[in-house]
């Protein structure tokens, strides 16, 4: 399968999609956030075919989202660890989880809680500089020159 | 191309990915947030092949993310409008944009600003119930029974 690139769309979202690659990649990242590091554990956790997992791990390493680290104390054993760039996808993963839970009910086998307090985390929202919540209707897309583009839906 | 389903992973992220479908779908949603409603305008805005666009729009309508509305005053003309469920993906789109801008520089032709003040919007972050910022290291994934699963990366 060839890899579709979206570079020419001049769009940060498209650019991010190039890097995270596809749905399997995002599930690999989510699994890594759960603490999974070894190839076999990703395979087991996600029920993903070896060749697809190989491809997605390699791509995520290429894009600096995961690092491939030799963690073998006696001999070679590779682990895949989230980089700072990978860990920074936490907001995206949580926002997507919460959206799914809001609209499809909580079908998840697990919950995400504050490690210290054990309490549920707050809904992720978009805020303006003053901390007020914004919906898509409260924002404008403007060009580099500051002139408005089309209106948001 | 058959559609991979992730229902059996028992995971909200996988469930969301089923619904938003694939990268093109998320770009269609982002384009709809810019105000695009007509088939030809999506096609032009994204440079997407007709058959792919047809398929993604149909899927997003099936999943309740877009609504197909007859907006013709004289005769039939269909528009695709974001539903509440679709507009609620705003947080995901903004989080993904901001991640891309943080790690790849701002390659985007446009900026997202508060419509009222014209100021840039704040970085989207995950917070606990008290409003404190959380990283992936500050959370635990626990089962339905409240028992901890694996540790986050």
Instruction: State the average pLDDT over residues A44-63.
Output: 93
In chain B, residues with a C-beta closer than 8 Å to the C-beta of A46 are 9
Residue to test with chain B: of A30, A99, A118, most B Cβ within 10 A: A99
Residue A28 lies in a domain: yes
Average pLDDT along chain A: 86
Residues B125 and B83 reside in one and the same domain: no
Could you tell me the sign of the dihedral formed by the alpha carbons of A62, B9, A113, B22, in that order? Answer: positive
Mean pLDDT of B109-132: 92
Residue A153 has pLDDT above 60, yes or no: no
In this predicted structure, what is the pLDDT of residue A147? 76
Provide the pLDDT for residue A3.
42
What gap in Å lies between CA B47 and CA A8, rounded to an integer? 10
* Same domain for B80 and B5: yes
DSSP string, A15-31: HHHHHH-SHHHHHHHHH
Whether residues B6 and B56 share a domain: the answer is yes
- Closest partner residue to B16 (CB to CB) among A14, A96, A110 is A96
Supply the pLDDT for residue B33: 94
Task: Name the strand (E) or helix (H) holding B143.
Answer: strand B139-143
Q: State the CATH number of the domain containing residue B31.
A: 1.10.10.10
Q: What is the pLDDT of residue A16?
A: 83
Please report which helix (H) or strand (E) contains residue B112, including its range. Answer: strand B110-114
Q: Are B61 and B115 found together in one domain?
A: no
ipTM: 0.88
Q: Which long-range contacts (CB under 8 A, 24 or more apart) does A78-86 make?
A: A78/A39, A79/A37, A79/A38, A80/A32, A80/A37, A80/A38, A80/A39, A80/A42, A81/A32, A81/A37, A81/B153, A82/A29, A82/A32, A82/A33, A82/B136, A82/B153, A85/B103, A86/A29, A86/A32, A86/A60
Residue A2 has pLDDT above 50, yes or no: no
Kindly state whether residue A54 falls inside one of the protein's structural domains.
yes
Q: CB distance A34–B99 less than 8 Å?
A: no
Q: Which residues from B are below 8 Å from A141, CB to CB?
A: 34, 110-112
**Nearest residue to B82 (alpha-carbon basis) of A97, A26, A151, A141:** A151
When pLDDT is cut at 50, 70 and 90, the band that residue B152 belongs to is very low
Backbone angles phi, psi at B89, to 5 degrees: -80, 0
CA atoms within 13 A on the CB side of B60: 30
Q: Which of B12, B47, B131 sits opposite A100 (nearest CB)?
A: B12
Report the C-alpha gap between B93 and B30 in whole angstroms: 7
Cross-chain Cβ contact A141/B34 below 8 Å:
yes
Report how many domains make up chain B.
Answer: 2
CB A102 within 8 A of CB A94: no
Q: Is residue A150 part of a domain?
A: no
Mean pLDDT of B129-146: 89
* Interchain contact, B121 vs A101, CB within 8 Å: no
User: Do residue B92 and residue A93 have CB atoms under 8 angstroms apart?
Assistant: no
Domain presence at residue A107: no
d(CA A65, CA A85): 5
Q: Are residues B12 and B78 in the same domain?
A: yes
| Domain identity same for B40 and B108 | no
Residue A60 domain-assigned (yes or no)? yes
Q: What does the block give as tokens for A5?
A: 């690139």
pLDDT reading at B149 higher than 90 = no
In contact, B57 and B66? CB cutoff 8 Å: yes
pLDDT digits (tens, 9 = 90+) for A95-150: 999 999 999 876 677 888 999 999 999 999 999 999 999 999 999 988 877 777 75
Q: Which residue of B has its CA nearest to A129?
A: B122
Of all residues in chain B, what percent carry a pLDDT higher than 70? 89
> Given a cut of 70, is residue B7 above it in pLDDT?
no
Question: Is a pLDDT exceeding 60 seen at residue B129?
Answer: yes
pLDDT at A109: 75
pLDDT per residue as tens digits for the range B33-84: 999 999 999 999 999 899 999 999 999 999 999 999 998 888 888 999 999 9
> Which residue range is the domain that position A47 belongs to?
7-88
CB A80 within 8 A of CB A37: yes
- Select from A22, A47, A122 the Cβ nearest to the Cβ of B127: A122
**Residue B94 sits in the same domain as residue B54:** no
CA-based max dimension of chain A: 61
Give the side-chain half-sphere CA count within 13 A for B104: 24
Are residues B74 and B117 part of one domain?
A: no
């Amino acid at each position: 399968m060839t890899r579709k690139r979206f570079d020419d769309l001049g769009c940060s979202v498209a650019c991010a999609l190039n890097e995270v690659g596809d749905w399997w990649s995002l599930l690999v990242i989510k699994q890594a956030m759960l603490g999974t590091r070894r190839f076999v554990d990703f395979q087991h956790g996600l029920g993903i075919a070896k060749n697809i997992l190989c491809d997605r791990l390699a791509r995520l390493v290429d894009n600096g989202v995961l690092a491939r680290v030799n963690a073998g104390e006696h001999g070679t054993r590779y682990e895949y660890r989230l980089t700072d760039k990978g860990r920074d996808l936490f907001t995206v993963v949580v926002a997507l989880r919460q959206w799914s839970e809001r609209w499809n009910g909580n079908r998840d086998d697990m919950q995400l809680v504050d490690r210290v307090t054990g309490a549920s985390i707050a809904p992720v929202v978009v805020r303006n500089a003053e901390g007020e919540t914004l919906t898509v209707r409260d924002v404008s897309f403007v060009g580099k020159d500051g002139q408005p583009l089309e209106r948001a839906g």
